[in-house]
Structure 1
């Protein structure tokens, strides 16, 4: 477990070796706003009931390699399995001609709260800019707003695709909060290869002696 780091809220804070930090932006949609996607007959969105860890993580890695996604890789198998099998979690794969190219993961809070989080969202590199993300988002929002939902929210960060904020705002989300996330560099932990997240500097801790 990492030690606490005093944070200067009016300046710079040096991080201990091996740690990385990014700014997280939280966005919300307080009422249904579903932007129709351009028709794409070769694309379909399918809910995956109790996906296997291997198929889930394989798609997660393909989507997240460039953006340094690692939370689901680091998560213990039993924890991830319990989350994916939780009835309040919904997993959707965007498929092109039957092959998965996108992931949307919805998590519903307790019924009285009426909040739905889009916990994971993305498409594989070869599908970016093709309209596939809009197809997946339209379907995810249709699912999220079923029932007594009163608010849908998600978050992105400065490690993510630079176009993410614009994409989410285009689909009706509005930012409402910033946060700073500090974590151990997953490349130094061996969770991701050194080639992951090339836009985030890889700083090797200096060896003593």
Structure 2
């Protein structure tokens, strides 16, 4: 357990505060029409599709990298599990959002991934997609919908989840290898987060 005070982070590492949030009953949401030119579609996800949208939504700006460390077999096992659902928002024929709902634990849904590419930011698409996520999750016999975010994610993410009906329940400090140093992401990713080479 970390004590009070400052704690050094070794070179080559990233430190982040992870916040876990829960929704124990369905938030009061109603369907909203999508902004003009957008369409929601369910995706039979495969590793090529997932890596592309995962990178465009979260990796280049926010250093999402966990799933990029998985090989095709391990990633496909998650994506093709019948208890894991994927949705996207399509604009001009291109997928521009990622929503993953994970029902693999009985009575529970994890909002495993949620985000938009820069092409959809500021249109109200995020609210529409979140409302859809909440309605689809609670259409199942669950008693808990949960999500987590961290300080490497968009600064608006935590407040957005709280306004969506999630309640923060705990935090952790996570330290991991910097994916840019490992070559998982380009060194230009996450330009707002400094790199400390070992």
Residue 188 of structure 1 aligns to a residue in which SS? helix
Residue 102 of structure 2 aligns to a residue in which SS? strand
Q: Does the 8 Å contact 1:34/1:141 carry over to 2?
A: no
Unaligned runs of 5+ in 1: 1-6
Q: Give 1:80-95 correspondences, 5 Å limit.
A: 80-95=75-90
Unaligned runs of 5+ in 2: none
Q: Given the alignment, which residue of 32, 47, 52 partners 2:26?
A: 32
Query: TM-score, length-normalised on structure 1?
Result: 0.88
**Larger of the two Rg values belongs to structure:** 1
Does residue 1:68 correspond to 2:67, yes or no? no
Q: Give 1:160-171 correspondences, 5 Å limit.
A: 160-171=153-164
1:97-144 deviation digits (Å, cap 9, x = unpaired): 432110010111433xx1100011100012112211111111111111
Tell me the distance in 2 between the aligned counterparts of 1:76 and 1:98: 28
Q: Give 1:115-126 correspondences, 5 Å limit.
A: 115-126=108-119
Q: Given the alignment, which residue of 126, 132, 152 partners 2:125?
A: 132
Superposition CA RMSD, Å: 1.5
Tell me the distance in 2 between the aligned counterparts of 1:77 and 1:9: 40
CA separation of 1:55/1:73 partners in 2, compared to 1, >3 Å: closer, same or farther? Answer: same
Q: Does the 8 Å contact 2:46/2:80 carry over to 1?
A: no
Q: Given the alignment, which residue of 4, 15, 39 partners 1:21?
A: 15
Residue 134 of structure 2 aligns to a residue in which SS? helix
